Structure 1
Amino acid sequence: MVSVPERTKILVIGGGPAGSYAASALAREGIEVTLLEQAHFPRYHIGESMIPSCRPFLKFIDVEEKVKNRGFVVKKGAALKLNQFKREGYTDFISHNPDNAAWNVVRSEFDEVLLRHAAASGANVIEGIRVESLDFAPPPDDITEATAVLPVAAQWIRSVDGSRGRIAFDWLIDASGRNGILSTRYLKNRTFNSALRNTAHWGYWTGTRKYAPGTKRENAPWFEALTDQSGWAWFIPLHNGTTSVGVVVAEDVTREAKAKMRVVRPEIDIASMQREFYASQLERAPGLKELLVGANLKDNGRDTVRTAGDYSYSASVYAGVNWRLVGDAGAFIDPFFSSGIHLALTGGLSAAGTIASVMRGRCTSHQAMKFHDTKIATSYTRFLLVVLATYKQIRSQDSPVLSSVDEDNFDRAIEFLRPVIQGAEADHRLNQDDLNSAMDFCETAFAPMADSFQDADAPLMRVHDMSAQLKHANVEPHDARGAYHTFAANASERSANTEDVQAHIAALRLHAQKAVFAMYSSDGYDQYFASEVLEGFYLKMERGSLCMMQAAADL
């Protein structure tokens, strides 16, 4: 058994993608970091589909080749069917760049690659250690209430023999997953999005068919809206000969259906109920059912059909004077666009870069806090609003939310949303016309009635309608600090004067465009992540000198 040190410069709680990535990045900078993981890897985890933006992250810490050589299924794109009345859309990852493919991964293998790489990079990785609680010191007088905690040590227990200990640290990165020890137990700053309260149910199949055989889209993953408008289904081929097949269903629909099953058959056991509910939901995905003809659900006993609460949530703040929240410990978004690993790596890199910056004297702790907090909030919000727009279409399948009435497909929608679907901060080098079109499309998705207003009050009504739409969709103010947050800002309190409102809309649009444009273009910086200026800084992506840099005044 590896001994846990009594002190470390940086403590990372959790060895998933976010924690492993942060540990790798810091260790490669020559900074002492200890990672405590309660499980022994490999361990099972859901979330098998990736998007292309993960590749620059992996390349930066020199782990991309290890992932590539693992033999995972190459993901060149994805098919998305948002209702049964129109042909599915397809997002082509490689049409603009042949090296832009992602992977469908077996997470037990992928996560272990990252964790072992963190150890190889110099991090002190210790498995089988669960952090039970945190010790705190009085916070400095100059930090705000939202971040007024100063963790200084962790109390831990070893799973093998129950031995306990304490490890002190200067910095804490909480990558403890959905349990989120710092956010849920101490900060109590997690908010759930009630519009995305769903349950996920999934299993693994053998002998499935391939999507679009004989075409360049062959074997792409398939995502389909359920015909009863209660959710969606996934079909993700894996390299181990199985296919991950799941459904995400509104929580109230799940609860009602299972209650009825219990009334009719009070003797039914939980495992049987899960399998029957799962099968009934797959019947509502006819396109996916075609891919399952002749296939068999792999029998894993009690785990044949797995289930989990699929609740989207965010935190009011993601950084403090000496701590960072990363990955699911900070926020989780519905997985329709496979954003989980992207957001985990984003948080891991941001945490490493901002901490290294303070340690190197390149910025103040307050500046680093603001950068990380804004980075996580912005990345989360970009996916949140696209997911909400997609759910609006899924739950109103006979309405033209993401398509025009006369369109028989969602190709236009998929193309508009391509940069977000393929990874919000990836450099797709869109031009300004593309950006303007994307902005128009996103606005219309949230305010479809706006275009029908013809009178002089139209701009005012448009702002009010946008605010109401976002409020109805439960986009809370702390969720909306990202790309499009200003659309909903104090709209009901704005002046009724048409000219003032028009000026306000122009300002909102400009602000949103600046935030969105940064995630598409290089802005003169060649390296990934450095393309986005937040709080006056960008991240210098150079091994040995990873840090925040102050942006030029004209950027």
Structure 2
Amino acid sequence: MSSALVPTRTEILVIGGGPAGSYAASLLQREGHQVTLLEAAKFPRYHIGESMLSPLRSYMRFIGLEEEFEKHGFVVKPGASFRLVQGLRESWTDFGIGGPDHLSWNVIRSEMDDMLLRHSAKQGVQAFDDTRVDSITWEGDPTSSRPLSATWSTKQGSSGEIAFDWLIDASGRAGIVETKYLKNRQMRESLRNVAVWGYWTGVKRHGAGTRKDGSPWFEALSDQQGWAWTIPLHDGTTSIGVVMHEDISKAKKAKLNADGKTPTLTEHYLEQLEFLPHVRELIGDKGSLVPGSIKSAGDYSYFATRYSGDHFRIIGDAANFIDPFFSSGVHIAMTSATSAALTICSSIRGEVTEDFAQAWHDTKLSIAHTRFLFVVLGAYQQMHLQDVPILSDIGADNFDRAFELFRPVIFGLADASKELTNERVQQMMEIYAESFDATINEDSISAVRARYGQDVVDPFAPAVGKEKIAEMAAGDSESERVMLRFEALKIFGDQNFAALGIGLAPLLGYVARIERGNLGLDKVETQAEAVSAAAMPSATEVAAAA
């Protein structure tokens, strides 16, 4: 980290040095802007969230960090395996079907996050860890004005103030702008979860010796009260965690042991493993819990009514958080960091107005968040952990933005209804739940591929819609189920599994321009793209909704 003094002025201030903050800082510095980053913790620091999604490789490649990731030795992640209903076969998501560029990693976050932060410093970012932002000074009311400066302090007693032209809040779940100034964060009751986890040695890998080797294993508890993750790491340990609703966790912890005492955190954790037959099988006789490694944290899900304002953007966990299921946190961090960087660049160049840049960023984050939310809710429904969600748990604005994008594919081109109802939400959940259909095996997939072609079982190919699938299947229910599963994966990915797919989908009539030295927004020119963009609300509507 920088040994210089924190400057008194910078062009762009980034609060937070996690994946979102470090990535945004690297992007903007590489565009020729002066960036200062202030991180409260001393790096490297511990963080949970070790399983990465497929697009991470493309994001790392774009800032020149892919080769360092490869050499570091992280466990290569070829996909993910799920058993959401005990007694059924596992469901396998194969990242490799799109080629080696789609393989990801299981990481030790203290190492990965430190690599990202140090890489930003190599790009020229003035990066300071162990430096906490305490407050932000605004031109007027924070809800309607721009931020001007921030005060900071260190544990060693140093303090100061830094002025800036632009602010990016990547301060993690603390979310200084959302929680302290905008006060617009909304908690999601149905995903008010708690996680407890620990690290083990001697645990067998799921799918060892097969193409699944290195894949995380996700399993529903047999008492239908939660789910667990098992993630192999490159230091020889395995991360094993259990997630359940806070009310269920409290009830389980309140039950007395045979000695009349409530269980310790470790005892509570080990008791949950009794409901996880395959996790116990992987632990076997040689698995050993690392002493003192048990940790617990609230995985509360939340979102906000907006993620930007005049000359500021909110990204990563500072903006929103869904759930640890399906490992969406770092992916959304990278997506939101890229969105923040390119909308700031576009606004600075005058390609779009600052108001429009904010609307584009809000729309992009809302869609990314809602897409993953429905994957999680669909999985939870499969595990009988989720009834039909109430609309307040979805977030009407977030849902509307995503629903407009997905409606032609999910419900057919003839469906013009924009009404937000519980039935619509349930339909969305059912579509995404198809991606976890455990009754589909690899023989069925091979048969459908041979009969209908590769595209219908390629999660990176364009979605075609339920109507077209029904027409192709012509009454063959088995083939239709297989194609619907991959259709759900296509909708879920929405081309974001492609290299920096953030630039492929038109939003509000503009597409992202992902070019080093030329990040920004391009107006949609072709009629086909304009039709796709027309399904989205206008910039004025998005700004009003925010």
TM-score normalised by L of structure 1: 0.77
Q: What CA distance in whole angstroms lies between the structure 2 residues aligned with 1:263 and 1:149?
A: 60
Q: Which amino acid aligns with 2:34?
A: E
Specify the alignment match of 2:382 in structure 1.
393
Match of 2:396 in 1: 477
Asked if 1:253 is matched to 2:248, the reply is: yes
RMSD between superposed Cα atoms in Å: 2.7
| CA deviation string 1:73-99 (max 9, x = no partner) | 000111100111210111111023133
Task: Pick the aligned partner of 1:312 from 301, 322, 325.
Answer: 301
Aligned runs of 1:16-35 on 2, under 5 Å? Answer: 16-35=18-37
In the aligned structure 2, how far is the partner of 1:529 from the partner of 1:96?
A: 17
Q: Which residue of structure 1 lines up, in the alignment, with residue 502 of structure 2? A: 529
Kept after mapping to 1: 8 A contact 2:130/2:154? yes
In the TM superposition, 1:352-501 aligns within 5 A as 352-395=341-384, 469-471=388-390, 474-484=393-403, 490-491=419-420
Post-superposition shift, 1:218?
2.2
Kept after mapping to 2: 8 A contact 1:353/1:546: yes
Q: Distance in 1 between matches of 2:133 and 2:179?
A: 14
Counterpart pick for 1:539 among 512, 520, 532: 512
Q: What's the CA shift for 1:357?
A: 1.0
Question: Secondary structure in 2 aligned to 1:483?
Answer: helix
Per the alignment, residue 150 of structure 1 pairs with 146
Partner of 1:424: none
- SS, match of residue 337 in structure 1: coil
Residue 15 of structure 1 corresponds to which residue in structure 2?
17
Identify if the C-alpha distance between structure 1 residues 244 and 485 changes in structure 2 by more than 3 Å, giving closer, same or farther.
Answer: farther
Aligned to 1:77: 79
Aligned to 1:104: 106
Give the C-alpha shift of residue 259 in structure 1: 2.0
Structure 1 equivalent of residue 484 of structure 2: none
Aligned to 1:283: 274
Aligned partners of 1:477, 1:74: CA distance in 2, in Å? 38
Deviation at 1:290, TM superposition (A): 0.5
Amino acid paired to 1:290? E
- Determine the C-alpha separation between the residues in 2 that align with 1:330 and 1:214: 40
Measure the CA separation in 2 of the matches of 1:275 and 1:29: 48
1:65 matched to 2:67? The reply is: yes
Please name the residue that 2:328 is paired with.
339
Of 329, 334, 346, the residue aligned with 2:318 is 329
CA offset digits 1:92-120 (Å, max 9, x no partner): 11023133110000000000110011000
2:206 paired with 1:232: no
Query: Tell me, what secondary structure is at the counterpart of 2:516?
Result: coil
Count of aligned positions: 453
Q: Deviations over 1:13-42 (max 9, x none)?
A: 000000000000000011001000111211
Deviation (angstroms), 1:362: 1.4
How far residue 493 of structure 1 moved from its aligned partner, in angstroms, is 12
8 Å CA contact 2:202–2:287 kept in 1: the answer is yes
Residues 536 and 166 of structure 1: CA distance in aligned 2, closer, same or farther (over 3 Å): same
Deviates more, 1:469-478 or 1:23-32: 469-478
8 A Cα contact 1:12 1:23, kept in partner = yes
2:195 corresponds to 1:200? yes
Q: Secondary structure at the residue paired with 1:384?
A: helix
Q: Report the Cα offset of residue 298 of structure 1.
A: 3.9
Contact kept? 2:55, 2:500, Cα under 8 Å: no
| Structure-to-structure mapping, 1:514-525, within 5 angstroms | 520-521=494-495
CA drift at 1:491: 4.8
2:457 corresponds in structure 1 to none
Question: Residue 344 of structure 1: CA displacement?
Answer: 0.5
Displacement, 1:262?
Answer: 8.5
Return the letter of the residue paired with 2:397: H
Return the alpha-carbon distance in structure 1 between the equivalents of residues 170 and 9 of structure 2. Answer: 19
8 Å CA contact 2:201–2:290 kept in 1: the answer is no
**AA partner of residue 361 (structure 1):** G
In structure 1, distance between residues paired with 2:17 and 2:209: 39
The letter of the residue matching 1:543 is R
Distance 1:479 1:194, change over 3 A: farther
Q: Flag the 1:297–1:189 CA change in 2: closer, same or farther, 3 A.
A: farther
Aligned residue in 2 for 1:5 = 7
* Separation in structure 2 between the aligned mates of residue 531 and residue 246 of structure 1, nearest angstrom: 35
SS in 1 for 2:285: coil
Instruction: Report the CA distance shift for 1:315/1:135 in structure 2 as closer, same or farther (over 3 A).
Output: same
Identity of aligned residues (%): 46
Go from structure 1 to structure 2 and tell me whether the alpha carbon gap of 1:120 and 1:254 turns closer, same or farther (over 3 Å shift): same
2:95 counterpart residue number: 93
Secondary structure (helix, strand or coil) at the match of 1:229 reads coil
Measure, in 2, the Cα distance between the counterparts of 1:231 and 1:527.
33
- Deviation of 1:261 after TM superposition, in Å, equals 3.6
Counterpart for residue 537 of structure 2: none
Q: Deviations over 1:410-431 (max 9, x none)?
A: xxxxxxxxxxxxxxxxxxxxxx
Contact 1:18 1:327 survives alignment (8 Å) = yes
**What amino acid maps onto 2:215 in structure 1?**
A
1:320-375 CA-to-partner distances (Å, cap 9, x unmatched) read 11111100000111111111110000111111111111111211101110111000
Q: Shift of residue 288 of structure 1? A: 0.9
Q: In structure 2, give the amino acid aligned to 1:162.
A: G
Structure 1: unaligned runs, 5 residues or longer: 140-145, 398-445, 447-468, 495-507
CA distance 1:254–1:61, shift in 2 (3 Å):
same
Counterpart residue identity of residue 92, structure 2 = Y
SS at 2:88's partner residue? coil
Per-residue CA distance 1:448-480 (angstroms, 9 max, x = gap): xxxxxxxxxxxxxxxxxxxxx453682121331
Q: Which secondary structure state, in structure 1, belongs to the residue aligned with residue 325 of structure 2?
A: helix
Question: Paired residue for 1:405?
Answer: none
Q: CA deviation at 1:217?
A: 1.5
Kept in 1: contact 2:371–2:492 (CA 8 A): no
CA distance in structure 1 between the aligned counterparts of 2:219 and 2:128, rounded to whole angstroms: 40
- C-alpha spacing 1:193/1:527, structure 2 compared with 1 (3 Å): closer
Q: Secondary structure at the residue paired with 1:99?
A: helix
Using the size of structure 2 for normalisation, the TM-score is 0.78
C-alpha deviations, 1:177-223, integer Å up to 9, x for none? 00000001111111111111110000000000121233221232100
Q: Is the 8 A contact 1:315 1:478 kept in 2?
A: no
For residue 382 of structure 2, what is the amino acid of its counterpart?
Q
Q: Which residue of 2 aligns with 1:123?
A: 125
